[in-house]
Amino acid sequence: MICINLESTDPFFNLAVDEYLLKNSKKDFLILGINDRALIIGKHQVVHREVDTRFVTENDITVIRRVSGGGTVFHDKGNLNFSFIVNSEPGKQVDFRKYTSPVVEFLSSLGVDATFEGKNDLKVNGLKISGNAEHVFHDRVLHHGTLLYDTDLAMLESSTRKDKGRYETRAVSSNPAPVTNLITILNSVLKYGDNIFEFKSLMMEWFLKNYPGSEIYALSEVQRLAVSELAASKYKTWEWNYAYGPEYYFNSQFAFREREISCRLFVSDGLIWECELKGYDGLKKASKNLIGCRHMVKDIQEVLEKEFILSREFDVYNLF
């Protein structure tokens, strides 16, 4: 197994590494990486349904879609990400227990009793420490997961949406679960330090020792350029991160200028194709100009400003 210890903390680049090596190599890889703060959504999810749009926008949190399915996960420099990219036999490619098993063994070596539960989670004492997702490409499989080491759990909680009932869609929904950080458990078991980069090195050393023939590998300059190009052309684009998701209807009721407003939007490919705002004539007129607009805070603000609707009274997040 080839082991890559990513030095980059750029989530766009690091997600692109997974896809590039999945599709452009026939070797088996283990990749360990730590990302700057970001919300990573599943391939078949609707962004605004999964993230708290107000909180994410006001706190400038990056949102990126990954190539694998499953639910939304929060990354920051307190979270360790691991990826296995391996050749696989047809019919045996999707196997969450198989690819989380070595992670469980590693944690066990530190005195942490982690168990595989549900479809794709690792838990300790009933609390989630790891979410996992997979993507199959021909005869290869990408399995990647998180390890909550010292993540900002308050930020994780605040950045994900709780009120999903306003969205009608066939999109995959996340299944939130109570979580905990490994550092709390490790401190009680081993009085372990609080440096995630040391923890990352410890995990890499364990794999090198327990998987004979494993070796450290660094991406070549050619590979790094190719990954950077993939990050720029795909993972940094609105088309991939927001427009790719399934179509949806958004329904809400809110007060504006002492009137009760009802809103119904139909969004496909990230664009508003149907818009109905009832209860105030000014908004009713503006709704016509929202047709063809991207369902994004800045874009809607610009349309409403032109209609002289956007005032201190109006909260654009009512449309999310």
Give the integer Cα–Cα distance in Å for 23 and 238: 23
List per-residue pLDDT tens for the chain, 320 residues long.
999 999 999 999 999 999 999 999 999 999 999 999 999 999 999 999 999 999 999 999 999 999 999 999 999 999 999 999 999 887 778 889 999 999 999 999 999 999 999 888 999 999 999 999 999 999 999 999 999 999 999 999 999 999 899 999 999 888 888 999 999 888 766 555 568 998 999 999 999 999 999 999 999 999 999 999 999 999 999 999 999 999 999 999 999 888 899 999 999 999 999 999 999 887 877 888 899 999 999 999 888 887 666 666 789 999 99
DSSP labels, 116-132 = EETTTEEEETTEEEEEE
Segments of the chain assigned E as strands? 2-5, 29-33, 38-41, 62-65, 73-75, 79-87, 115-117, 121-124, 127-137, 140-148, 167-169, 215-216, 248-256, 259-268, 271-278
Task: Count the neighbouring beta carbons within 10 Å of the beta carbon of residue 299.
Answer: 16
What six digits make up the tokens of 146?
């998180």
Q: Are 83 and 1 in contact (CB under 8 A)?
A: no
CA-CA-CA-CA torsion for 255, 59, 56, 43, nearest 10 degrees?
170
- Secondary structure of 13-68 as H, E, C letters: HHHHHHHHHHHHCCCCEEEEECCCCEEEECCCCCHHHHECHHHHHHCCCEEEECCC
pTM above the 0.75 mark?
yes
| Domains (range + CATH), the chain | 2-243 (3.30.930.10), 248-319 (3.30.390.50)
Q: Rounded distance, CA 224 to CA 220, Å?
A: 6
